[in-house]
Structure 1
Amino acid sequence: MTTLFNPRSMDFTPFLFFTGKGGVGKTSTACATAIALADRGKQVLLVSTDPASNLQDVFEVELQNKPTAIPNVPNLFAANLDPEIAANEYKEKVIGPYRGKLPETVIASMEEQLSGACTVEIAAFNEFSTLLTNKELTAQFDHIIFDTAPTGHTLRLLQLPAAWSGFLEESTHGASCLGPLAGLSAKKEMYEQSVKVLTNPEKTTLLLVTRPDCSPLQEAERASKELREIGLKNQYLLINGVMKDFVKNDKVSSAFFTRQVRALEQMPNELKGLQTFEIPLVPFNIAGVENIRKLFTFEQTSVVSADEIKSLHVPALKALIDDLSESRKRVIFTMGKGGVGKTTVASAIAVGLAEKGHRVHLTTTDPAAHIDYVMCGEHENISVSRIDPKVEVEKYRNEVLNQAKDTVDEEGLAYLEEDLRSPCTEEIAVFRAFADIVEKANEEVVVIDTAPTGHTLLLLDAAQAYHKEIARSSGEVPQSVQNLLPRLRNPEETSVVIVTLAEATPVHEASRLQDDLKRAGIQPKWWVINQSFYATHTVDPILRGRAQSEVQWIEEVQRKSQNHCVIIPWQSEDTVGYQKLKELTI
């Protein structure tokens, strides 16, 4: 049985970590908790370690890496720790001594190796470790709240002895995320103290934030299990955005309510044993102190009328498909954070192009073969395949470990095995499999659900140059990958479609993805705004409030895409099967 999450009447440990999939409401929930505790007279510091943090937008005040007092909230201070700045400083610290001493191609490879998500995450861990172990600072606050927790992968790396050895400086295993910890041995004691604080249930609580939807619930289960295995066992589950009732004559409202109920009934077993709290769906943007306070008042708030919602012109998905068909693109990637609907959008694009007479090959990395469920099998002009990331990673992992086993000791191999669990390793392994598919499919339009990031492309490119300069026995870049890199950079042949929701976090993250791709020489043209309540014309008062809150993010997407964006309404029924997908393209 779940209860309402109400920090006004709950007791908490000194350190609170909010974690969860992008767009589930981590930041708004962390901010509302911080205000509720400050209103009770507690001294509170709220810290964001998210590179795409919108903490200052929520509080409507400029924030720095030092605690800043929040106006109109006595006792509350906030700080934005930018791990990307910290990562750049760290990167230069590691690489600087080698400039002018090693060939430029080697320097380029080192720089790109230290430009991935894992380096940023280690830098973020370094930032909040400094806070956790600063006794003078922690003594000033009753609670320190972190918006974004470290992943299990990062913590496991820090617990391995090889992370602190000279092994890293001698490793030659090629394109992966091994570099981030090199040179950090001076921080060993601080990191060990931080891990002790994190795993102490009297000091730290992990709050897993999710929405009552299948995908974020599965992500919460994965994070819970991974973090529990390494000692973070004091966990709460916060289900954010729960609709308590629906409007009977509104198809969107009743379908939204039914879908939530079904998702909660099918909640993963790993989560059922956690103490669980609900946060109701609210009809307003969580921005500004007064709105944040309303999140936990649980009172009915005023809602917007239909004529108050600004009118915007955003074309339907058909405009994107017409452009892809007329420009005769051969390789199309859908890209975006988990939960935004990439698989559905990729499938709809494939159906739209097939309807125009193109032969299409649709492929995905979804380990649950979700694309088979969406497509309901193959159809005329469309062939479907699936790349299993687990299989590809295992293949790549074995290849790297076999090449390293004769030159690396047992401790080094343990570190290398953990390093090969990183997100970037999976992306590289999967990208190699993608390259093979594209290489064999020159007679078809290839639509790929989930694109490689710019970092992965640059890492493979840098490794390619690196291996030309210095003969290496591992991390070899296959010919199919070498062929695909220039192909992806050719806008006449390839199009990357960015998929997002009309919400703060997905748009911020999509914007970062676009910048990442530009850095790799790829210019995405189209954005898709998916699952939009704005486009449904719902009359449900709460959902209409959500529609109003989407307006600023739709306008932001229009600006970021230079008006090359399309919108897909939130669907009352599951978009499953060829006919349903076809309806999205009309």
Structure 2
Amino acid sequence: MERFDPASVVQTKYLFFTGKGGVGKTSTACATAVYLADHGKRVLLVSTDPASNLQDVFSLALDRKGTEIPQAPGLFVANLDPIKAAEEYRESVVAAYRGVLPEAAIENMREQLSGSCTTEIAAFNEFSSFLTDEALNRRYDHIIFDTAPTGHTLRLLQLPSAWSGFIEQSKHGASCLGQLSGLADKRKLYETAVRTLSDGGKTTLLLVARLEETPLKEAERAAEELRGLGILRQVLILNAVAPPGDDAVSAALYEKQRQALAQMPEGLRRMDSYEIPLRAYNITGIAHVRDMLRTDHLEDAQAAVQAREGHRLSDLVDDLVRHRRKVIFTMGKGGVGKTTIAAAIALALAKRGERVHLATTDPAAHLKFVLDEGSGIRTSYIDEKKELKKYQEDVIREAMAGGIAPADLDYIKEDLRSPCTQEIAVFRAFAEIVAQAEDEIVVIDTAPTGHTLLLLESTAAYDRELKRSQGKTPASVKKLLPRLKSEETETVIVTLPEATPVYEAERLREDLQRAQLQVRWWVVNRSFLGLETKNPLLRARAAQEAAWIDEVNRKASGREVLIPWKAESLKGAALLSL
């Protein structure tokens, strides 16, 4: 596979970098921008990533318009804040109702506009001007975006009903309904932006992934979805590709990546693909940004590695037993290993004589590979696709019975594909499983987010979201929210010792705290810190992890579990070694 070389890959004015959190899309976007500027191009780099650390990357205070980087003449960087933009957007929508509606209704409206869909729309609102401003087009040779809009966002913007009075008038209550309210005056701007995105002569989508199963699957899913919307010019960049090893640990890492490459999804195999080598350091400072894409760069072989004394997973389990927790969630972004951690916690509880029920949204076959048949753990699988389809059918049936217009029905159908709706769809299945905590400990390896719980807790939203599909609120659901906020429940956040996963984990904790679910324990998974390796690259990388492990330690008030990177796939009794 060829190295990623912007000189040959970059052929369009607009470049959109996308990928799962933590795969290195910001680093890759920055390195590409600096490379182009170093080769005489005028470049604008725009970040809409909530976890963006561009100010740290360039050691410079940034604004929303574009700040020139002194060490890279010709490069200007704008750091948009989608969280702030979403807050401003929420306030602009609800302002007209202040003093008219009760404060409880205002708060309900704000919660309706607090999900990921609203943040995406607000971000798109921010960078649409960069796509459509003729003066910017003339000023820059390339405009690079760190984080592309999702397929869901783009489909919403293309729906005629999204711009009708349906949003204000509908009583059908789609879960993310309202994120486009008040933006009708920008419809033409958005239409131009969407056309630019799908013009292969103007725009290239660069999907960044790592040679791991989950990021590759996510990249394939994003590629197919965006291709279906007409964004056909796509490139795959595989980041952090390890070289052949010179000791047991580095050789195992190399072999694990080779296996992931051999099993890469078919949809990605058809794409033009490039690789960037594994770098030991965090991509901060202009020197490291330039070095990221260099072919002649040598790593620092003298990295000092100081081990951290984190808790073992057995300490976490002892604490769960001591406090008599009955419902245990493992939560975190995809790819951090929460299913494995959930299985390990369940097995450790069973070994202590507890009756345990492990539930997952991962395919049931996966659990069969993780747990031995004689583990003594009852397992169940929540089929997200099945639950979502049933929920969608229920809502559409009711909407059609109410005589909804075809265009508005299209909006409902699109809204039913949103992240919030999927959580709500599986909510009933979660409720039924959690209800069994009367007789056993229930471990669940994913849960509804704080936003979804708040959405359901509000009386108006609660009735709308549940009654429309069942006609009544099940007893299991009535008991669920109080139980999740009680001392019976423990939420364990799983993350990786890297910048973006830690930032995203913190946002997840804040989201849960809004719903009054407290987080006590954190698990830092797949750490190279403390491994016995003489490989200079991995030793240097381990040293870089220390700051993020210390950050988690502060957030968790010392209740963090540190789990080392493992070459082998963990199964059965081996889970107890974590």
Secondary structure of 2:375's partner?
Answer: coil
Question: What is the aligned partner in structure 2 of residue 297 from structure 1?
Answer: 294
CA distance in 2, matches of 1:343, 1:478: 28
> Are residues 1:554 and 2:552 paired?
no
The C-alpha deviation readout for 1:39-62, integer Å capped at 9, x for no partner, is: 001111111101121111221222
> Are residues 1:340 and 2:339 paired?
no
- Which of 337, 347, 360 lines up with 1:351 in the alignment? 347
CA distance in 2, matches of 1:332, 1:64: 42
Secondary structure of 1:528's partner?
Answer: strand
Change (3 A) 1:121 1:368: farther
CA distance in 2, matches of 1:372, 1:96: 52
Question: What is the aligned partner in structure 1 of residue 539 from structure 2?
Answer: 544
| Aligned-pair CA distance for 1:583 | 2.0
Question: What is the aligned partner in structure 2 of residue 573 from structure 1?
Answer: 568
Which runs of 5 or more residues in structure 1 are unaligned?
none
CA distance in 2, matches of 1:366, 1:472: 28
| Aligned-pair CA distance for 1:468 | 6.9
User: What does 1:230-309 align with in structure 2 at a 5 Å threshold?
Assistant: 230-247=229-246, 250-305=247-302, 308-309=304-305
**537-546 vs 100-109, which moves further:** 100-109
CA distance in 2, matches of 1:372, 1:425: 29
TM-score (norm 2): 0.96
Any conservation in 2 of the 1:98–1:107 contact (CA below 8 Å)?
Answer: yes
Question: What is the aligned partner in structure 1 of residue 76 from structure 2?
Answer: 77
Which runs of 5 or more residues in structure 2 are unaligned?
none
Change (3 A) 1:28 1:277: same
| Aligned-pair CA distance for 1:69 | 1.2
> Are residues 1:361 and 2:360 paired?
no
The C-alpha deviation readout for 1:262-295, integer Å capped at 9, x for no partner, is: 1101111111111110111122221111011111
Change (3 A) 1:195 1:557: same
CA distance in 2, matches of 1:393, 1:469: 17
CA distance in 2, matches of 1:371, 1:147: 35
Any conservation in 2 of the 1:351–1:582 contact (CA below 8 Å)?
Answer: yes
Aligned partner letter, 2:556: S
CA distance in 2, matches of 1:506, 1:313: 21
Aligned partner letter, 2:293: F
| Aligned-pair CA distance for 1:304 | 4.1
Question: What is the aligned partner in structure 1 of residue 160 from structure 2?
Answer: 161
CA distance in 2, matches of 1:278, 1:189: 38
Question: What is the aligned partner in structure 1 of residue 393 from structure 2?
Answer: 398
- Which of 504, 509, 513 lines up with 2:499 in the alignment? 504
CA distance in 2, matches of 1:155, 1:300: 40
Any conservation in 2 of the 1:350–1:360 contact (CA below 8 Å)?
Answer: yes
| Aligned-pair CA distance for 1:378 | 5.9
Any conservation in 1 of the 2:336–2:525 contact (CA below 8 Å)?
Answer: yes
| Aligned-pair CA distance for 1:478 | 3.8
The C-alpha deviation readout for 1:419-438, integer Å capped at 9, x for no partner, is: 10011111111222101111
Aligned partner letter, 1:456: T
Question: What is the aligned partner in structure 2 of residue 410 from structure 1?
Answer: 406
CA distance in 2, matches of 1:515, 1:188: 33
Question: What is the aligned partner in structure 2 of residue 433 from structure 1?
Answer: 429
Any conservation in 2 of the 1:332–1:494 contact (CA below 8 Å)?
Answer: yes
Percent of pairs identical after alignment?
56
The C-alpha deviation readout for 1:233-265, integer Å capped at 9, x for no partner, is: 000000111112111xx3221211111001101
> Are residues 1:148 and 2:147 paired?
yes
TM-score (norm 1): 0.95
Secondary structure of 2:71's partner?
Answer: coil
User: What does 1:14-413 align with in structure 2 at a 5 Å threshold?
Assistant: 14-174=13-173, 176-247=175-246, 250-305=247-302, 308-367=304-363, 369-377=365-373, 379-380=375-376, 382-407=377-402, 408-413=404-409
| Aligned-pair CA distance for 1:313 | 2.1
CA distance in 1, matches of 2:175, 2:392: 11
CA distance in 1, matches of 2:48, 2:374: 44
Aligned partner letter, 2:94: I
CA distance in 1, matches of 2:60, 2:364: 43
CA distance in 1, matches of 2:126, 2:473: 34
| Aligned-pair CA distance for 1:35 | 0.4
Question: What is the aligned partner in structure 2 of residue 525 from structure 1?
Answer: 520
CA distance in 2, matches of 1:21, 1:543: 23
| Aligned-pair CA distance for 1:9 | 4.9
Secondary structure of 1:78's partner?
Answer: strand
CA distance in 2, matches of 1:137, 1:532: 43
CA distance in 2, matches of 1:500, 1:118: 23
CA distance in 1, matches of 2:441, 2:307: 36
CA distance in 2, matches of 1:154, 1:521: 29
Any conservation in 2 of the 1:527–1:557 contact (CA below 8 Å)?
Answer: yes
Question: What is the aligned partner in structure 2 of residue 424 from structure 1?
Answer: 420
User: What does 1:468-487 align with in structure 2 at a 5 Å threshold?
Assistant: 477-487=473-483
| Aligned-pair CA distance for 1:371 | 2.5
Question: What is the aligned partner in structure 2 of residue 461 from structure 1?
Answer: 457
CA distance in 2, matches of 1:494, 1:471: 23
Change (3 A) 1:175 1:456: farther
Change (3 A) 1:474 1:435: closer
Change (3 A) 1:569 1:115: same
Any conservation in 2 of the 1:113–1:175 contact (CA below 8 Å)?
Answer: no
Aligned partner letter, 2:389: E
Change (3 A) 1:289 1:488: same
| Aligned-pair CA distance for 1:64 | 1.8
Any conservation in 2 of the 1:365–1:430 contact (CA below 8 Å)?
Answer: no
Change (3 A) 1:471 1:583: closer
| Aligned-pair CA distance for 1:302 | 3.6
Q: What is the alpha-carbon root mean square deviation over aligned residues?
A: 1.8
Change (3 A) 1:274 1:9: closer
